[in-house]
Every structure is written in structure tokens, then in C-alpha cells.
Amino acid sequence: MPSQERFAKGPIALFECMQQIPCNPCADACPRGAITVKEINDCPSLNEELCNGCGVCMTHCPGLSIFVVDYTYGKDAALVKIPYEFSPLPEAKSVVDALNRQGQCIGTAQVIRVQTSPNKTNIIWLSVPRELAMEVRSIHVMKGETS
Amino acid sequence: MITTEILIIGAGPAGLMAAIHAAEAGAKVLLVERADRLGGQLIKQTHKFFGSKAEFAGERGMDIAEKLINLSSDISGITIWKNAVVLGIYPDGVVTISHEGAFCTVSPKKIIIATGASEKTMAFPNNDLPGIYGAGAVQTLMNVHGVIPAKRILMIGAGNIGVIVAYQLLQAGVEVAGIVEAAPQVGGYRVHAAKLQRHGVPIYTSHSIQSAHGDSCLEGVTICRLDEQWQPIEGSEQYIAVDGLCLAVGLSPLTELLWQANCEMKFAAELGGYVPLRDANMKTTHENIYVAGDVSGVEEASAAMVEGKLAGLYVASVLGHKKDSFTKEFQTAKSQLSALRSGPASVKICTGLSKVVLEEVG
């Protein structure tokens, strides 16, 4: 987990990849060489100074276990980027239910941007209350808010 | 009688890789596939694969299938037969095949068997009701034909197949009522389980199915909690209304041809059942028969692809088609395979392999 100081500097990738499984596409994907998977069964380790939270690794992770959090996004809001492989995609500016790791609705999030990817792991940028930035990991798209 | 240098049986990830690498080395290959299309189970895999770049990690299974199919069609040394069911391997080395309904005999110098595995099922009352599927059938309906199997489905088995197919069901718009797993913990990769949990899918560990209910089709199932000895706990029964039930309770190697050819077989529960004894070059106890992929032990597709490459390269070399780069390529593939199997997620596989892999010869 990055330090408060690192979070204060801007967006950073968070790896919710705690089990040793044979997998390393994130390391190959990072354009800045910030991710290392020494042996293929090791969990990834991140060079926090090199990572700029671009989110390229998120589209490559087969486990969809990488998220980006940016606490510098706003005074009361933080930006959370989540991988999303469902259709239909939410529409930018719409408000969606924000779900935690257990799938419980813990509030709402505003969709800031929908970044589509050729490999169909799309990235949704969400503005969430700061205190929920470490909780929100999925969304539920309500009817009438789809693109 | 048709002659060929190498007959490869099964065009899934292992068979395709074996064919590509044997033919690239210069061998003449006949690749036979029972189905009407190549790719085996890969074509149904809409999720991104684990592993490393060398095994196409990060790419979706169906895209890997397309790549391998295109590669195999572009190499002139490979003849492909679809709708070709191998009927028997005779003591004189002749293989009989029903190809597009016509009876053929083939005389190969070497055979690579890459027939894969079939799904296990479960015994419980009413398990024959319409609406109860194996995970492979669910994937075929959804991901090959675009048909949803049910409106609300319960998954049995939280191994990788169970958690992956449950996620694919969610993507198809099917409500997943839960995943039932007899073991006290999820067997599949935790990242796969996490994807389901954050969409609110409950995972019932230490639970099993007791019976299915319905008149003409499935209407619901009763599940119950299991104690530490995996015995049902009385009074823990719970009814779940579903119109679909998906069984993802493991695979067994499809070894009929190996038995028939008198290859020495051994039971290894860790590998899914009876598998052939073989050496590190994938050669069975039969001089001319090699194996690759799930038929030699149920494992991830990434391992099947590397085994296919090893078998293809090696068999071609035995027949005199040895690329200059053979030693390097072969050793690289071997280290790739041992790297894949080196982690804690592969301890079970390695235990199984230690029972069936003969010491390396030559």
C-alpha cells in the first residue's frame, strides 16, 4: 500500500493480487517499467516513483485486480479507475451505484470518463467521496444511464 | 492407406502447438480433430489468460485459438482433418479414422495424442432435469452460439472453471445465484473469485448440492452445509430457486486411445484420473506414442500449449527434422513449463507429475 506522501503526489496503481499464481502480463504492459514480477509466480511489485497511474496495466491484467486511485483529484472527491468488462458501458457524467469488494452498494459514483480498450477490458474513471476511495471496486449501472 | 510422419490427434491448444512446431521443423503432419472446428476448448474462453508472454498471457483464449489456427493453416506441412474421429490404434501401427463419415486408414511413423479431457459429473436426485449443464456446455451455448443457458443459475464448483464460467455468465446478463464449493476454500485463483464477489455473487464454501427439483425442467435446488468430514449437516438445507445449474466439478483425461494402444497407465488423482506414464519428452511407454495437454494430466491451457510445443519439437527431431535452434528452443520450452509449475498454485500438479513422469532418457 502506497504511503500518504505517495498518494499526495498523484494517481498510482494498486495491486489487489495477493496470491502467487503464474502470471506476469502487467510487468510487460507497463510503459514506464514500474512493475516487476521477478519469478513468474511472484506477486507484482511496484516502483511507486515510476508509476504515474496511467492504467495501461489494468487493461492487461487477466485477474482484473489492478485499480488506480488518485487522491489529488479534488478536495472532497478521489478518482478511482476500475476495469470493466460488461455491456452496456456506463455513460460519462452519469451517476452509478458504487460497490465494494463484497458487491454491496456503499454510495454513488460519478462516471468521469469511459476509456474503451481494443482488448475489451475497459477502464471506467469514477469520482467518489475521498473516504470511499479504498472501498469502491465495482459499479452497478442503473437503467437509463447506459451509453 | 494414407501415410504421414506424425499423426496428431486433437486440435486443441496442445495439438495445435504440437502440429505447428513439428511442421515448422520440417515434419509432415496430419492433424485430426473430432469437432467441426479447430481450437478445442480455447474457442470458448472469453477471458484473458494467465502465464507469460510466451504462452500468450493477457490475451483472451478465443484470440489465442485464432492465432494458433491461422498459424497451423499457413504451414504447408500440416494437413488438417475436421470431423475426424479416431476409432482405433492397431498393433501394426495403423490408425483407423472416420473422416467426414468415411472410413480411412492412416499409417503414421509417430503419434501425438492430445485428446484433452472430459467433464466429471455429480450424482444427486434429479440430476437429469433439463436446465442442468456441465460448464463446457454452458460455455458452448453462450460463447460459441450466443445463447444464454438460463435466467438465474447456480454454479457448483469454485475451481478456476467454476469461477471463470460464473463471471462469463454475469457478462452474458445471467443472474448468478451463487457458487457452491464443497471444500472450505475457493480452489480457483482468488482474483477470479474477487471479480464475482464485487458483483455480489455469494460463494458458499463447505456446501454441496443435495438435490434438484422441478417437474419438466429445473425449478430449484437444495444445498446444504458440510462438516469437517465433508458430511451433510442436518438442518442446514437451503432452497435456492434457479432455472439453471452448472456443474464445474473437475475434468478427467480422455485416455481411451492410450489404453487401447497398451500404454502403461497410472492413477493420479491430482491430475484428474488415469494418465499415461511418460518421460520428460512426452513419450509414453509405447515406442511411437507421445502425449501433450490435458490427456496427460489436467492442467491449465498455458501448460498444455508448452507441452504441445515440446512434443512437436521432440517428435520431429526423432524423425530427423532437427532445426539448428532445436536444443535452445526445446530447453527454453522446458524451463517455461517448470516456471509455470514452480509456484504454490501448482503444488498439486507437481505431486501428480512426480508419480507419472519417468526419468528422462537420452
No. of helices (H) and no. of strands (E), chain A: 3, 9
Residue of A39, A85, A104 with shortest CB distance to B342: A39
Q: What is the mean pLDDT of residues B186-193?
A: 97
**CA gap A131, A128 in Å, rounded:** 8
The percent of residues in chain B predicted with pLDDT above 90, rounded, is 98
**CA gap A111, A27 in Å, rounded:** 28
Is A63 in contact with B191 (Cβ distance < 8 A)?
Answer: yes
Tell me chain A's radius of gyration from C-alpha atoms: 15
Q: How confident is the model at residue B347 (pLDDT cuts 50, 70, 90)?
A: very high
Q: Chain B residues contacting A, CB < 8 Å?
A: 47-53, 57-60, 170-171, 189-192, 194-195, 197-201, 300, 302, 339-346
3-class SS letters over A20-32: CCCECHHHHHCCC
Q: Long-range contact list for B40-43, CB < 8 A, 24+ apart? A: B40/B10, B40/B11, B40/B12, B40/B13, B40/B15, B40/B16, B40/B65, B40/B116, B41/B12, B41/B13, B41/B116, B41/B136, B41/B139, B41/B301, B42/B12, B42/B13, B42/B68, B42/B301, B43/B143, B43/B144
Q: Using the predicted structure, report yes or no on whether residue B298 has a pLDDT greater than 50.
A: yes
pLDDT at B362: 40
Count of alpha carbons within 13 Å of A124, Cβ hemisphere only?
31
Instruction: Give tens-digit pLDDT for A25-58.
Output: 999 999 999 999 999 999 999 999 999 999 999 9
Helix (H, G, I), strand (E, B) or coil at A72: coil
Which segments within chain B are labelled E, that is strand?
A: 2-9, 29-32, 78-81, 84-89, 95-99, 102-113, 117-119, 132-134, 152-156, 175-181, 203-205, 207-213, 220-225, 238-241, 244-247, 251-253, 265-268, 273-276, 289-291
pLDDT at A146: 52
* Rounded to 5°, angle at Cα B176 from B171 and B180: 130
Question: What is the least distance, in Å, from the CA of A138 to any CA of chain B?
Answer: 6
Picking from B77, B92, B80, B86, the residue whose alpha carbon sits closest to that of residue B104 is B86
Whether pTM > 0.90 for this model: the answer is yes
Cell of A131: 473516504
Residue of A22, A62, A101 with shortest CB distance to B48: A62
Bond before A88 cis per omega within 30 degrees: yes
**φ/ψ of residue A80, rounded to 5:** -125, 125
ipTM: 0.95
**φ/ψ of residue B176, rounded to 5:** -100, 110
Residue of A25, A65, A104 with shortest CB distance to B194: A65
What type of residue sits at position B224? Answer: C
Give the Cβ contact number of residue A75 at 10 Å.
Answer: 5
Write out chain A residues lying below 8 Å of B171, CB-based: 85-87
Query: What is the average pLDDT value for chain B, to the nearest integer?
Result: 96
Q: What is the mean pLDDT of residues B238-247?
A: 98
Q: What is the mean pLDDT of residues B151-179?
A: 98
